[in-house]
Chain A
Amino acid sequence: MLGRTAAGLFWLARYLERAENTSRLAEAGFRLALTRAESDTEEWRSVITTAGCQQSYLEKHETIRSDKILDFILRDKENPNSVLCAFHTARENARMTRTALTREVWEAINDAWMSVRDALRRPIPERDLPEILSLVRRQGAQVRGAITGTMLRNDIYNFIQIGTLVERADNTSRILDTKYYVLLPSSASIGSSLDNVQWEMILRSASAERSFYWLHGGTVSPPAIADFLIFDARLPRSLAFCYDMITEYLGRLAEEYGESTPAHELAIRQENRLTALNIARVFEEGLHEFLTSFMAQNAAFSAQIETDYRFNE
């Protein structure tokens, strides 16, 4: 496979995942706004921080306003991480790697792009927001379904999966880091309704609220949320799950190519670190410090993949 093709597959997956994460974030923010009496600019600020576009947003808009933020993260063409741009980039990468994709996958991506583009053509009135956000997620799911259902399990598939998981690990760690202060054990004692709402927002941003309540029977405690999103390898958006699977796919790549790479070692180290730690130790070290270091290592891993598999000249 061409190095450029591997790059295209990797980024195609990252941007698809990014679009989905951003729409989930928008949904969590929107829901929060609905369930609360007064508007809270801090919550919306945390949405753009988690989406990684606080700076670019503030360069364009002076104030934190929910409608402006939603527009910016969903459909602003100047924001490369907006859902619209992310889908566009994903599709451009799919066009570039067209020969590596099955017809079903290509059509699902093309279809997703066309529906999302049409849905986001005009500013979104509040009443249409839930429908549009669910459309974005549904389209993402259809692409994922086509990938799982029709792609050969070879290097092509492995690069797509690794891209998805790297992006997801980054996203989950960012959700946690933006809100890390409400998750500290000390905040549990406060237990105000404000915190409850914030916890719920964290879980919703990671599509983890149902699983969490199911496992914990409705008792919410901040360390349990952090534990769940970092260490529970059964949750498909947890950091542990992401690195379990990343090492799995790198292992398959190593088998197919007959050689292991430095990126593989980095991933194994990350996985081992997650296995050796637990939530109590993380709080001792500092949650924010742990997440900062995790994100840096995740980024370093991504760069190593690009080098090892000759994504660029």
Chain B
Amino acid sequence: MGEAPQFFDEMDGFDGIVREPYSAYSDWLQEMSRPALLKKSAEAQAFFRRTGITFNVYGEAEADERLIPFDLIPRIIGAGEWANLVRGIEQRVKAINAFLHDIYHRQEIIRAGRVPERLIRENDAFLPRMIGMDPPGGIYTHIVGVDLVRTGPNEFFVLEDNARTPSGVSYMLENRETMLKMFPELFSHIRVQPVQQYPTMLRRSLERCGPPAADGNRPTVAVLTPGIHNSAYFEHAFLADQMGVELVEGHDLRVTDGRIAMRTTRGYEPVDVIYRRIDDDFLDPLNFRSDSLLGVAGIFDIYRSGGITIANAPGTGIADDKAIYSYMPEIVEFYTGQKPILQNVPTWRCAEKDALAYVLDNLEELVVKEVHGSGGYGMLVGPAASKAELRAFRAKLTAKPENYIAQPTLALSTVPVLTKSGLAPRHVDLRPFVLVSPEGVEVTPGGLTRVAMKKGSLVVNSSQGGGTKDTWVLKGD
């Protein structure tokens, strides 16, 4: 692939020598001709379009359903590497749940002076109505999608914790389905851990968090979606379908006899656990945003009285807030008593004077993010920005520094993608999916690998033209 790469390539390392997890795959790849691979790639796109695995892009009326580009070179993680990631993820997710319980109860971490009170109190993601509330099973974040990036053989960083309603798990599953269909021979001689059990695990995990009102019976689970125009609607329908539960919208539900019930062809039937894919703000027009048409009037009161489980719990957003993120090392240590296994990306909080001065001085080398932003919107990648963009961002930063954090531009690892002219390295990240129940933490061996399809680009978000890859975790010996 030309001159010595400055980035760590997960297939070829720094030195162009194929790394162990890729060895069997690489042998197979050598045998494949480029036209044959390109033909498979076209087949995969047609398959995705036919199955309707699309996402909606806000603000684009005509082409409102788009395919996320799928690249058929898998991202492969060795058993040993994975085991280490799992330990780090478990530790972090346990700490997040403990943190949420604490800040909605005694707030020990604030008393201990490890996290500033202002950061909680003045944070929109903090939900005062959750204070003193004990969610069923003591679980706040039933589903987490931790975003990881890699810069070297053993250097992994957590980029974001995604403790609200992480999306993308349907791509993990469909990408694998597609690979199995297209390259069955690969799976017969490379031992890849399966991911297809995820929906079953998700349902079981949700059922373990039934509310007191379920009274020991097998809980009825439903997925709550904003509807077919939501960008992730495909995933909502997919998960409901795979779990074998109802996919409901707000207007299918209402409060009846102290329960949340769904309108069926035979009358109203109570629901025990709601896997909601709508934001806190829209959950309950009586308790939160009164103009919400997506939620259910009164659901929060039913929740407080033990009539329903809401997953993830309202108010979890405080844990994946970008300003709180910078305190995660302290948070992990405070609740687990151990050093964090996974590293945080060094973060400058622009609300702090010194940090702001540093960020303004070094803007062209940093990545600056909005504290409450997501999806790659409203972010600046210094090294890739034009003079005018830098100038405009500098003004925004100076006007509202508390809205921003800054991080060094990481040398994200690359994995080859198939282009018309052959293989080419592209930057990737990784989102493993984590389920939490009173029985423990489960991490599905795999995840969503997002890949920046543009040469040199570090932005992997699908809303910004990023693609996906199948993620293989190899079986141990």
List residues of A whose CB falls within 8 A of some B CB.
1-6, 92, 95-96, 98-99, 103, 106-107, 110-111, 114, 155, 257, 309-310, 313
Contact = CB atoms under 8 A, between A and B. Distances in A.
B263 interface: yes
B134 interface: no
Contact of A114 (B49, B238, B265): B49
Interface residues of B, number: 23
B252 A4 contact: yes
8 contacts: A1-B264, A1-B265, A2-B246, A4-B249, A95-B228, A99-B247, A107-B52, A310-B265
Contact of B263 (A95, A99, A257, A313): A313
B460 interface: no
Contacts of B49: 114
Nearest to B65: A95
Interface of A is mostly: helix
Interface of B: 49-52, 227-228, 233, 237-238, 240-241, 246-249, 251-252, 262-267
Contacts of B264: 1-3, 310
Contacts, number: 57
A2 B240 CA distance: 13
A313 to B, nearest CB: 6
A136 to B, nearest CB: 18
Nearest to B269: A2
A110 B263 contact: no
Contacts of A111: 50
B52 A106 contact: yes
Contacts of A155: 265
A257 B241 contact: no
Contacts of B248: 2
A98 B241 contact: yes
A99 B265 contact: no
Contact of B246 (A99, A106, A114, A310): A99
B228 A107 contact: no
Contact of A107 (B50, B233, B251, B252): B50
A309 B241 CA distance: 22
Given A2-B252, A95-B237, A98-B237, A310 B247 contact: no
Contacts of A4: 249, 251-252, 263
Given A3-B252, A92-B228, A99-B241, 6 more contacts: A2-B246, A98-B241, A111-B50, A114-B49, A114-B50, A313-B251
Contacts of A309: 265
Contacts of B262: 2
User: Which 6 pairs across A and B sit closest by C-beta, in order of nearness?
Assistant: A98-B237, A309-B265, A99-B241, A110-B52, A3-B263, A99-B240
Contact of A3 (B51, B233, B265): B265
B247 A98 contact: yes
B265 A6 contact: yes
Nearest to A258: B266
Given A106-B52, A110-B52, A2 B263 contact: yes
Given A2-B265, A3-B265, A313-B263, A99 B50 contact: no
A110 B51 CA distance: 7
A1 B251 CA distance: 15
Contacts of A310: 263-265, 267
Contact of B52 (A5, A95, A257): A95
B449 to A, nearest CB: 25
B181 to A, nearest CB: 13
Contacts of B228: 92, 95-96
Contact of A257 (B233, B240, B251, B265): B265
A107 B48 CA distance: 10
Nearest to B268: A310
A219 B50 CA distance: 47
A95 B249 CA distance: 13
Contacts of B249: 4
B2 to A, nearest CB: 40
A5 B240 CA distance: 13
A309 B266 CA distance: 7
Nearest to A7: B265
A6 B264 CA distance: 9
Contacts of B50: 107, 110-111, 114
A155 B249 CA distance: 20
Contacts of A103: 51
A309 B263 CA distance: 10
Contacts of A110: 50-52
Contacts of A99: 237, 240-241, 246-247
A5 B267 CA distance: 13
A1 B252 CA distance: 11
Nearest to B240: A99
A4 B267 CA distance: 12
Nearest to A108: B50
A22 to B, nearest CB: 24
A284 B360 CA distance: 91
A95 B53 CA distance: 11
A28 B249 CA distance: 42
A253 to B, nearest CB: 9
A86 to B, nearest CB: 17
A308 to B, nearest CB: 8
B340 to A, nearest CB: 40
Contacts of B241: 98-99
B268 to A, nearest CB: 9
A149 B221 CA distance: 29
